[in-house]
Amino acid sequence: MARHAEQLAREDALSRTIALVNDKGGVGKTTLAVNLAGQLAAADFTCLLVDLNRQANVARDLGYRDTPSDDHGRNLFDAITGRSALMPIPGVRQGLDVAPGGTELDDLVAWMVTRMGREGPSANLALANALAPVAPNYDFVVIDSPPEATFLVDLCLYAAHWILIPTRSDGAGLDGMENVAKRFNVAKQYNSGLSLLGAVLFGTGVRSTSIHDEVRAQLESAFGGDSPLFSAFIRFSEKTAQDGRRLGRLAHELEEDLAAQPAWWQELRDGKRGSRISSTAASVAGDYRDLALEVLTVLREAEEAAETMPSAEGAQ
């Protein structure tokens, strides 16, 4: 009874936790996680972004890499392994705190293997237990999972209430999505609140409607007929991606920089030849706004439906 109450309390605390997962790398997980969290924060929601990746590209995307606040994942490792409480970096953006990742997470897989040997699958609740005390301080928790790291992806599946699957339209991205579906069903045995938020196409063409239909069919095959593919998608723009990582700026911040950027002929006249923000930044920023709005809409509808369920059952 006590363990059941503990599980319900943990799942309630993590009820707005979204993990971005796909077994395949290069499908846009980090870029999507950072920009989704940034959009939510810009919309006046408080958000915690958790970077579970040793590559720590979140730090580069948000511009805090190798600053004094960047501990390269040491606190996150200690929190997951029960050595200390989670202490995110506050105010990386207004309304956005970050639990950094990095090379200090290198030993996490070995720790998980040992823990699994003693506790079995319940060891995968370690991240959930680390997040539960701080999650109520935020409107949303967004987790960026690493690619091709089964133990760490399982940590995300056991901690999240919602999973969002980024994918490209190639076969490898879709295979990674199907691999997640298999472990999703196992994780639900220990994390009963786990649900599929949906899948989102990353780096796709605006007119690739037949490819979008193919991805939707693959998603329904992997998760079931009600599995949603978001109508919002993130278009391909290599220059905007490069600008963001080079400058440590999110897509909507690049859009602001673009609006303030002098005309090219003014820079030429003034003898300035600096790197310019790509004009595609505005389109990509619009894609992320559309995605954030769609995510919020799906979550609101799900929460409203959940609120009516007890009364509906009582009426039967």
State percent of the chain over pLDDT 70: 86
Tell me what pLDDT residue 274 has: 60
In this model, does residue 272 exceed pLDDT 90? no
- Average predicted confidence (pLDDT) for the chain: 86
Distance, in Å, from the CA atom of 293 to the CA atom of 77, rounded to the nearest integer, reads 32
Of 140, 95, 132, 135, nearest to 303 (Cα)? 140
Is pTM beyond 0.85 here? yes
Of 224, 243, 229, 225, nearest to 284 (Cα)? 243
Tell me what pLDDT residue 209 has: 67
- Output 165 or 51, whichever has higher pLDDT: 51
Question: Picking from 114-128, 130-144, 259-273, which range would have the lowest pLDDT averaged per residue?
Answer: 259-273
Strands of the sheet with 195-204, listed across from one edge:
89-93, 96-99, 47-51, 140-144, 17-20, 162-167, 195-204, 234-235
In this model, does residue 279 exceed pLDDT 70? yes
Tell me what pLDDT residue 315 has: 43
Q: What contacts 12, CB < 8 A, 6 or more positions away?
A: none
Question: Residue 199 in 3-state DSSP?
Answer: strand
In this model, does residue 293 exceed pLDDT 60? yes
Of 2-11, 134-143, 270-279, give the range with the top mean pLDDT: 134-143
Q: Binning pLDDT at 50, 70 and 90, where does residue 205 land?
A: low
Distance, in Å, from the CA atom of 186 to the CA atom of 121, rounded to the nearest integer, reads 9
Of 1, 53, 47, 43, nearest to 22 (Cα)? 53
- Output 196 or 214, whichever has higher pLDDT: 196
Long-range contact list for 120-125, CB < 8 A, 24+ apart?
121/186, 121/189, 121/190, 122/190, 124/151, 124/154, 124/155, 124/157, 124/158, 124/187, 124/190, 125/10, 125/158, 125/159, 125/190, 125/191
- Output 138 or 219, whichever has higher pLDDT: 138
Q: What contacts 287, CB < 8 A, 6 or more positions away?
A: 232, 233, 234, 235, 251
Q: Binning pLDDT at 50, 70 and 90, where does residue 227 land?
A: low
